[in-house]
Structure 1
Amino acid sequence: MTLRLKLMLVATLTLLLAFSLTAWVLRVQQNKLAELQQTLVRDAYSQATRSELRHQVALALSTISPLYNTGRDDEDIKRLAVQQLVNLDYGPDGYFFLYDYKGVSLMHPRQPELVGRNLMEMRDAQGRPAIRQMIERAIAGGGFIEYTWNKPSTNEQRPKIAYVTGLERWQWMIGTGIYTDEVDKIQQQLADQLTASLGSTLRWVGLTTLLSASFMLASVLGLSISELRSADAKLTLLARRLVHSQEDERAWLSRELHDGTSQTLVAAKLLTESALARLPADADANADSVRTMLERAMARIGDALDGVRDISHRLRPATLDTLGLTSALRQLGEDSCSAAGLTFSFEVSGNEPHGLPAEVRTTLFRVAQEALTNALKHAQASHVHMQLHKGGAEIRLTVQDNGHGFSAEAIDRSPKQGIGLRNMRERMNNVGGGLELSSDEHGTKVEATIPRRAVQGLAQSA
């Protein structure tokens, strides 16, 4: 793992850790805020509820106070007071109730079936004697009591808080209450809103973290791609310099063989021919033996001279620099195929590629040389066709044989095979070109293409 990838990993892990810590802190704060909010809401609701209940009971007392203040205690005045209380309500679950101090229900607008029953010992869902506690609180001067009671709107037992007070002369306990499950709904709504707000905050934090990580990744990838391109350009330049160095070395070695070793062999051959010519025609047996040895020496020198000339030509053909790419390719194909007993055809199309950079000429020549070598050694072909085309947008060299083909994919996968094909591709890549290879049972076709803009770029940099 590279240093840049390690730094990116550390930075990403730091962002994720910061996000996790932020989410944890937000969650803890949400729980604390929810608890505080519930406490504040419950206290505020409780105070508002108690104040409202006091007000409602005061309103009920003010309604019947003219009757109570008459000083009458007969059943008619009490019945009239009950009737006035029955008509007082506020909403589906807001009503007044009335009991005497013995626990008998005198009025209940929502549960008339309870009227006339003694409920002193009745207990709520938690086992509390709600009516007894109410009466005791009323006798003591009034107050609040919490209990559970049937809610008319839902017909279910729900928690309730009531305020009761007493009418001492009539021995009555009057009160009203509010069901407190509404505050639970309000608190749940507030908690849901708080959770939704926290979720939105976490999503924004997560999005920010994701964008930051993406920006870091894009920056690192951008730098990596830039460096890779720079490194690729440097490698391409190095490969071109290496090819130049190899070609210069081959050219030097070719000249040395042609001008040095070849001339020495020519001189030795001439001296041998001179010595052979001076031998008398009517010489004795010893002279015949010398003549035979000199003739053999001349044959060996001639073979060596041909070999040196062939090596010199293959290293760097003189025609490539003197007559140009077309003549060099034609001579290469004719000499190689003639020596191997193959027929050869050569075709030039488009404009004659004069004035090509030396690097382009050398690359195309080496590709043709490698393609011919493969056709002669491996394809078992009987004919090779070579075409050089110079179009308006590209220069294309095609070498095609009629031998048996091979699997290009298998060659590419094998590290020990296809070295020549890889060398051809690398050479073409170095000059900005490309190599296409197709092979089947009918033959193999190698097509090397160099775009015109790549040729012009090489010409300008030369």
Structure 2
Amino acid sequence: MQLKHKIVALGILPLVLAIAVICALVISLNRQLGDQQAQLIEDSILASKRAELKNYVEMAQSLIAPLYADGHGDASAQQKVLEELRKLSFGLDGYFFVYDRNGRSLMHARQSDLVGKDLWNMTDPHGLPVIQALLNSAASGEGFQRYAWNKPSSGQVTDKLAYVVMLDHWGWMLGTGIYLEDVERATQQARDEVAEGIRTTMLAIAAVALVAVLFVFISGMTLNVSEHRLADKKLQRLTQRIVSLQEEERSRVSRELHDGISQVLVSIKFQFELASHVLEKGQDRGLGILREAIERLGEAIGEVRSLSHDLRSSLLDTLGLPAAIGQLAAEFEQRSGLVVSYSNDGCDCDLVDGAHVSLFRIVQEGLTNIERHAQAKSVSITLQGCEGAVRLTLVDDGIGFNVAQVEHRQAGIGLRNIRERVEHFGGRFVLTSVPGRSELDVLLPINPNPR
């Protein structure tokens, strides 16, 4: 994966993760609220149904009160009570039922086939012994019992809420019930509304997330394109600088060859031709001319050696960096007339490939800048090894300069190239300057894997 894609991914993934966590929290909280809302609706409906059932049973009790309270309790009175209760109904599935203490059905207005049967051990689909639970509720005075029972109008087993009381003089249990389909519908409707709300919320969050992700993606791609263009421009400028430096170096070498070596060689050629002409005539001064030509040839060889040394110090390869810098300091002192002091601790540390050349070029460039601009009288060069690094220091007593202005110049090799050399090897470069003292301090790391 390319770096720009990684950057975009790092921008999008935390956003997607945050949105996913928010969605999970919203879903969880909405479901909790939905369950609470459904429970409140169910409790409210059940409370009204309990009051309704209690009223129905009290109404039935008041209807049979004269027959129940006359004290006879004979079979005729009991039969009349059962007949009256059988006639009572409310709604399509609202009816009364009567059981004795042993669980035998005495009256059932909608399911006459149950009358006379012992239903003590009958259970609903949930495993609840219905008649036993109803008798226990009536005996305890609680009266209300929820269970599943066959609904007469539909023939399906449905949840039902019953209210029962004991007719203690006769040992009967009287009760009625209401089927709870409407409660289930109401609670299911509440849950459906919550689910719809969750879907709507999720769609809204998804839309916002999509817009945010697209915005992050587009912003990242725009930034990548911008950075890519900026990098291309920097690369173009760097390439142009390299080409310019190559041309400058070629021009310098060309001038050195043309103005120095070439002219000396032409002069030597003329002297050899002159000596040959004089010797052909038998004149003695031909030997003197040859000697002068040989001396000039030695000068030409020196020019070639000097030019070669400028391009690449031979001591750097043979004797190492400390000796090469020492020779460079001596030649600079002889050429410029400045007082140069050079010290090193004799440590030729094992640097990474190319670092020796870079330090040599840094000294070379620093001395050139001092000669051209510093107006100094003395220069101090120090090369020493320290823990894990090599330190190079150049100090002069010149007029000083503004470091910020010099480092921000766009043209020339100068200090900018020195900084680039140091940064290439992961080193440290510090430059300070005040009138009377300018210091260039370079620190390069030692090769972690010495040969």
TM-score by length of 2: 0.45
TM-score by length of 1: 0.44
